[in-house]
Structure 1
Amino acid sequence: MANNPWSHLYTPRAGEQRLGDALAPLGEAPFVLFGIAEDLGVRANGGRPGAAESPEAVFRALLNIPCNDWVRGSDFAWGGILDLHHASSVDTVDEAVHAAVLPWMKAGCVPLVVGGGHNNALPLLWAASEAKGKSVHALNLDPHPDVRDLEGRHSGNGFSYAHSRGYLDRYAVLGLSEYAVNAASLERLKSTNGWAFETFESWAVRGETSWESALDRAWPRADRSIWARNRRGRNHRSTLKRPNGERMDLASGTRNGLPRRTDRP
């Protein structure tokens, strides 16, 4: 696609098509690639700057991926990079991100967001809730739960703010680090109705559980079946195809009709 706004992020190569050559127009693909160039929320949480530079770096790699049997550019549209380097507050970031993604979510598209701090969980959940007209659920694969106190917006309390404002209902954290969660956040996870977590150490170190059972706690199979039926109704794939031709059913948790392995942590 000539003269596109992302052409500076990839290098075309004669005789082959790359993801950057094949992106669909906005509104014609189920997924929207979207960057948020900010790290104000991270710095407000006492973290290191740098997340603002990640969208360009990630998209330079992503858009150079070759299209083939497994990668189709028509699945993705370009939503651009929202430059918030000079935002004056995290509340300003929240408003800008919410305004950017809401039209896509109302149209049934899923933004794939790169960059910014986890403070952006709040505006994303806000937009998803507004688009759906109800509270939504969230699955977070993260050593940190980001449910700190409502002490002013930063990257460590996006989910607690989203819950307090009615955007977030059920919430699950998989891979929570036992060495990276404070006592107040852990108590909030344990005491909030509909919230669940599984620590990284419990399944990957001590072998007390499996990834599959952790996923079942976070996203019950009955709910996954409903989700998959809805996705089929929208003509979106509800299975993942591996290079060897094997398909993973997202609803039942099986591979080619066979149960998934549970003999490994």
Structure 2
Amino acid sequence: MNSSLYKPTDPSIWTGRVDGDGPLHRRYHQVIKPVDLGGKLTPTTDPSWALLGFSSDEGVRRNKGRVGAADGPDAIRKAMASLPVHDSSLKLFDGGDITCANGDLEDAQQILSQHVAGLIRAGYRTCVLGGGHEVAYGHYTGVANALGDQSVGIINIDAHFDLRDDSGGPSSGTPFRQIREDLQSTQRPFRYLCMGIQQCSNTRFLFDRADAWGVEYVMAEDLMGQTGEMVQDKLDWFMEAVDAIYLTICLDVFSASIAPGVSAPNALGLLPRDVTPWLRNIVLSGKLVAMDVAEMNPSLDRDGITARLAGCLLDECFQVSV
């Protein structure tokens, strides 16, 4: 393992207001525990989440997007630090960051995969902070390696399929095509549900590819409209068919009015209320073992609103999970 691509978290990032020492006053910066993954990992039997940052925007650069997401993990940490923790049983650890040095995305994804697999084998659920959506390939690979023969369903909340070819090398637009290729090589099914898809964000070729590959998807307008029963039926059917779920949230699924800090801002995007009910249902399935948030670009953010959105979405999942 290339240890030079791993760095422990700077504990000073987790600071914020203090209203008191008791559990009723707790905020994230008071409950999170930094852990150095360069040492021996202590296994856990308690429901615990381990954060990892994936400080990469190399995939965004290869995808001809706007770089800056490599600074996303710390922006999300700072936005989360003062959020209140309403359930004192929440156990949360911060395992530091995987960096992408000299444009070597493939090496960074491999290191991420190895750390994720180690955490899951030790009993933790993983939450990775991006970083471009190239995070998905390394994160999923680690989950799959840890779970062995268990079937893993991917739920991607995103305006894009991210099934592109990689003529310029693997990128933020290719992770789910890469995952499908890996699964095909071992004759395993590709279980992929994408929620929030938009016509203006995908070519006709990508829609045809998704259909040909058996991808399940829900259009953005169906998440916004009065079609909750249809969406719930599809989500329930998908989750029932798998042993475990990997959830990935791409922030460019949201309206640019509330998520400006992304490479590809979305003029017709979703609002948080279109998404949070489905996040709760996914967590409450009891099958969620890993999740991440991708495309957080602080250099394009406005007043930290996108980082705040990312932090609140993760908080929603954490609080429901305990």
What's the TM-score once normalised by structure 2's chain length? 0.62
Which residue of structure 1 aligns with residue 12 of structure 2?
A: 7
Identify the match of residue 162 of structure 1 among 179, 183, 186: 179
Match of 1:129 among 126, 144, 148: 144
Moved more, 137-146 or 195-204: 195-204
Matches within 5 A, 1:189-200: 189-193=210-214, 195-200=215-220
1:174-214: CA deviation from partner (whole Å, max 9, x where unpaired): 11011101122111211113x2111112442xx4x624422
The CA distance in 2 between the partners of 1:99 and 1:222, in whole Å, is 26
SS at 1:148 equivalent: coil
Distance in 1 between residues matched to 2:89 and 2:84, nearest whole Å: 9
Superposed displacement of residue 33, structure 1: 1.5
Amino acid at match of 1:89: D
> Which residue does 1:173 correspond to in 2?
194
CA RMSD across the alignment: 3.0
CA contact (8 A) 2:56 2:70 kept: yes
**Larger RCO, structure (CA 8 Å, separation 6 or more):** 2
- Is 1:42 the counterpart of 2:60 in the alignment? yes
The reply to whether residue 110 of structure 1 matches residue 115 of structure 2 is no
**d(CA) in 1 for partners of 2:99, 2:104:** 14
Matched, 1:55 2:85: no
State the SS of the aligned residue for 1:122: helix
Post-superposition shift, 1:14?
5.6
Q: Label 1:222 to 1:156 Cα distance change in 2 as closer, same or farther (>3 A).
A: closer
* Partners of 1:174 and 1:214 within 8 A in 2: no
More divergent stretch after superposition (22-31 vs 48-57): 22-31
Unaligned runs of 5+ in 1: 229-246, 253-265
Give the residue type in structure 1 aligned to 2:66. Answer: R
The structure with the larger Rg is: 1
Q: Is residue 98 of structure 2 the alignment partner of residue 82 of structure 1?
A: yes
The reply on whether 1:23 has 2:10 as its aligned counterpart is no
How many percent identity over aligned positions? 24
Structure 2: which amino acid aligns with 1:125?
Y
Specify the SS of the correspondent of 1:220. helix
d(CA) in 2 for partners of 1:106 and 1:87?
Answer: 30
How many residues in Structure 1 have an aligned counterpart in Structure 2? 224
Q: Give TM-score scaled by structure 1 length.
A: 0.74
Other-structure match for 1:216: 233
Unaligned 5+ segments in structure 2 are 1-8, 36-41, 246-279, 287-322
Change in Cα spacing, 1:63 to 1:186, as seen in structure 2 (3 Å) is same
| Distance change in 2, residues 1:35/1:71 (3 Å) | farther
